[in-house]
Amino acid sequence: MTLAFVALGLDHRHIYGMTENMLAQGARCLGYWTEGAPQPLDGYVRRNPDLRRFDTLDAALSAGADLALVSCVPADRAALAIKAMQTGHDVMTDKPGCTTMDQLAAIRACVAETGRIWSINFSERFEVPCVTLADALVQEGAIGRVVHTTGLGPHRLNRATRPEWFFQRERYGGVLADIASHQIDQFLHFTGSDDAQVTLAHVANHANPDDPGLQDFGEIALRSAHASGYIRVDWYTPDALPNWGDGRLTLLGTDGYIELRKYVDVAGRDGTDHLVLVNGARCETIDARDAGLPYFARLAHDIAHRTETAMTQAHCFKVMELALQAQAMAEGRRA
């Protein structure tokens, strides 16, 4: 049976990739619902001109879909995901999947009650082919056991296109809960850690004093039972860079290391998805653009067979728990 989905909330452009990648798996989109006219709406309609826009959320939720894609304002994602799960949908949500510990607790309770899947599309892992190749190399033992990760997530501010909620701390959730959830996901995944301790968390607004709700810089240090990691995120991408950010990930193993230059190589190589591998026998840069994006096919499989091949539910919960803990620590409050 063909997987059917609906898109709920078009407040963030990540809904483009979420929809495109599910369509690429042969899934069928029954339509979308969103409040008002958020900035990404025009681009979504251009990409999907034949899709129906539902007049109400209830109409979208009663259309017969198996899966709901959620990309509304971050502070509203938990409530929308819960409503979707309570009406029989599995959920793929944009990051951050929630913005408070109370929201996370409500999601946990809903998953336990309904048996639905709540999956966060960590696009900096799931929509980046070089990460797929890095995962395969790590599984093969190419760099030994991963004992440290360094995750860098710079972003371009693009002030003119940002909605009001982007500058409101309570609406977007804070820079660590938002952007750094990507790097926390990668740390846990590549080090094989089920849990971790946040040993350092810091946020700041260094360059945008007229927007006091914006955190334009953040950093985290993590430590698990057998690995550690460092994360830096910011909104400082310079105009001369040809894309939105020079995102990088370095995996340090006991027998070598891998560096991912995900979106651009400032050393001059064209394109995206540059993987640097250095170990006892190899020292090379690999073009990983064709490594594939298995998350979406795996999620479709999980929906059909009630498995956890795309990402375990425990991992998804833990990423957001650590991100919210880090955010609270950085702001000097209890999570």
The pLDDT tens digits of the residues spanning 294-305 come to 999 999 999 999
CATH number for the domain running over 125-287: 3.30.360.10
Contact 175, 203 (CB under 8 A): yes
Task: Report the mean per-residue pLDDT for the chain.
Answer: 97
User: What percent of the chain has a predicted confidence (pLDDT) above 90?
Assistant: 98
Mean pLDDT within 260-285:
97
335 pLDDT more than 90: no
- Range(s) for CATH 3.30.360.10 in the chain? 125-287
Q: What percent of the chain clears pLDDT 70, i.e. is strictly above it?
A: 100
* pLDDT on residue 334: 80
Domain 4-121 listed as CATH 3.30.1330.200: no
Number of residues that make up the chain: 335
SS3 state of residue 273: coil
pLDDT at 322: 98
* Average pLDDT of the segment spanning 242-263: 98
Q: What is the pLDDT of residues 34-59, one digit of tens each?
A: 999 999 999 999 999 999 999 999 99
Q: Which long-range contacts (CB under 8 A, 24 or more apart) does 133-139 make?
A: 133/273, 133/275, 133/286, 133/288, 133/291, 134/190, 134/249, 134/251, 134/258, 134/260, 134/275, 134/288, 135/189, 135/190, 136/291, 137/258, 137/275, 137/277, 138/190, 138/251, 138/253, 138/258
- Give the pLDDT confidence score for residue 1 in this predicted structure: 77
What average pLDDT does range 159-176 have in this prediction? 97
Q: Where in the chain is the domain with CATH 3.40.50.720?
A: 4-121
pLDDT at 333: 82
